[in-house]
Amino acid sequence: MTGPHRVQGIDITALAERFGTPLYVYDADVLRDVFTGLRERLHPAVDVFYSLKANPNVAVCERLGSLGAGAEISSLAELMTVRRAGIAPEDVIFLGPGKTPAELEACVTAGLYAVVCESLDEVAELERLAAAHDVADLPVLLRINPDFRTKGSGLAMSGKPRQFGIDAEVLRRSAGALAGLGRVRVRGFHAYMGTRFLNADDIVHNTREILALSGELAGRLGIDLDTVDFGGGFGVAYFDNEKDLDLATTVDGVNEAVESFLREHPGCRLINELGRYLAAPCGTYVVRALYVKESLGETFVIADGGTNHHMAAVGIGSFVKRNFPIRSLSRPAEDPAHTYTVTGPLCTPNDVVGKKVRLPRVVPGDLIGVERSGAYGPSASPGLFLSHGYPAEVMVHRGTAHLVRERDRAEELLAKQHTVGPDPAPGPAPESGARP
């Protein structure tokens, strides 16, 4: 009953018939297993927060929230999403270098676990807003732009210029700026070292360094260290040359770092914020082949969806195109004896989902699935290119398929646009007294 073409026993071809294509299909069992697999291994002092950026679908948030995940959000819409998903504000942090006045106001009044401040000016503005809204206690985390060295290389990874966070060097000197705070309460620090880490040693090293730096800064600034968010960025293998993160080794190392940190800071809450690692494995992007054609010796499958919904499949930052795992959902039992370049419908040569992919024979009407696609899909893609809009999203939960996002319809896309109206009809030339 398993295989790439089935989700909890339901054939994806049946889902495509029912909900149409292009389509994202999420398997809630996989989402749960990934979360609990991490949760069960991770030190109990560490809470897992889901970064909505990876997949802001409210059902994905709801499932993760129901399993005990907190949330890391960066916009008013994401705040609304976690509310609707049933995640308590005490388990939500709001982060981002460009918070607008409206977002800051929501941060002050929403009762969040913490606002992650990305500058000292933002701290001062929150202090002012807290007074204006008569909020007596506003917890914040200070985001660090760290300056520690990476292991092994011996090269100083001295803090690169970044729009994110506060340079560690600036923080070391900011006791004065923080001393006058009456309503804003600094609970601790936050640091995020990047995305797509697939090496356990790197993650453990970064975690250790962030914890050490947080301890150092807290001591120097006289902060009663109550929370450290040590980021996340755990990767999943997409391409042939990649291997999945060794979770056991990673978590053992992280737990060890946490354990020794807690000896000096007993009772401190730790946060591990993750997007891709949690969301990617559960998702399959499903497209239907419209045409199969040859050009100068290469065979193309042209599908009804492509990079407009799955930009990541283009292969980020690599010169050589690398492919996500791509399968035939219509002929799962046949040998992958053919080579196809799978493209979407966009009028750009870059709309390539998979270059020279080995697949069983493909004929128009066949369904093709791009696996491990639950993170950074539609929300990180140019969904309005050619005005196709966003695809439908379906979640299979307890053996039942739920439509968790409706496909954009042309009328909806047009509803927000307005013409300026017709030009006035050409009438007789205006009378002019100057006429001879």
Ligand X SMILES: *Cc1c(COP(=O)(O)O)cnc(C)c1O
Q: State in angstroms the smallest separation of the CB of 67 from ligand X.
A: 17
Q: Based on the number of CB atoms within 10 Å of its own CB, is 196 exposed (0-12), middle (13-18) or buried (19 or more)?
A: middle
Residues 23, 274, 287, 367: which binds ligand X (CB under 6 A)?
274
Beta-carbon contacts of residue 244 (< 8 Å; ≥ 6 apart): 198, 236, 237
Beta-carbon contacts of residue 318 (< 8 Å; ≥ 6 apart): none
Q: State in angstroms the smallest separation of the CB of 278 from ligand X.
A: 8
Q: Is 272 in the site for ligand X (CB under 6 A)?
A: no
Q: State in angstroms the smallest separation of the CB of 229 from ligand X.
A: 8
- φ/ψ region of 221 (left if φ > 0, alpha if ψ in -120 to 50, else beta) reads alpha
Residues 61, 95, 115, 342: which binds ligand X (CB under 6 A)?
95
Q: What's the CA gap between 176 and 314, in Å, rounded?
A: 48
Question: Which lies closer to ligand X via its Cβ, residue 6 or residue 190?
Answer: 190
Question: Which lies closer to ligand X via its Cβ, residue 70 or residue 344?
Answer: 70
Q: Is 282 in the site for ligand X (CB under 6 A)?
A: no
Question: Which lies closer to ligand X via its Cβ, residue 164 or residue 300?
Answer: 164
Phi, psi of 3 (to 5 degrees): 115, 165
Roughly what angle, to the nearest 10 degrees, separates helices 247-264 and 28-41? 40
Q: Which residue of this chain has its Cβ atom nearest to ligand X in the complex?
A: 275
How far from 315 is each of 117, 233, 306, 380, CA to CA, in Å? 32, 18, 13, 13
Q: What's the CA gap between 278 and 235, in Å, rounded?
A: 9
Q: Is 372 in the site for ligand X (CB under 6 A)?
A: no
Question: Which lies closer to ligand X via its Cβ, residue 230 or residue 285?
Answer: 230
Site string for ligand X, 163-202 (x = CB under 6 A): -----------------------------x--x-------
Position 269, amino acid: R
# chain residues binding ligand X, by CB under 6 A: 15
* Token reading at 55: 């997949």
- Near ligand X by CB under 6 A, which window of 50-58, 134-142, 259-267, 425-433? 50-58
Q: Is 275 in the site for ligand X (CB under 6 A)?
A: yes
Contact residues toward ligand X (CB under 6 A) are 51, 53-54, 72, 95, 192, 195, 231-233, 273-277
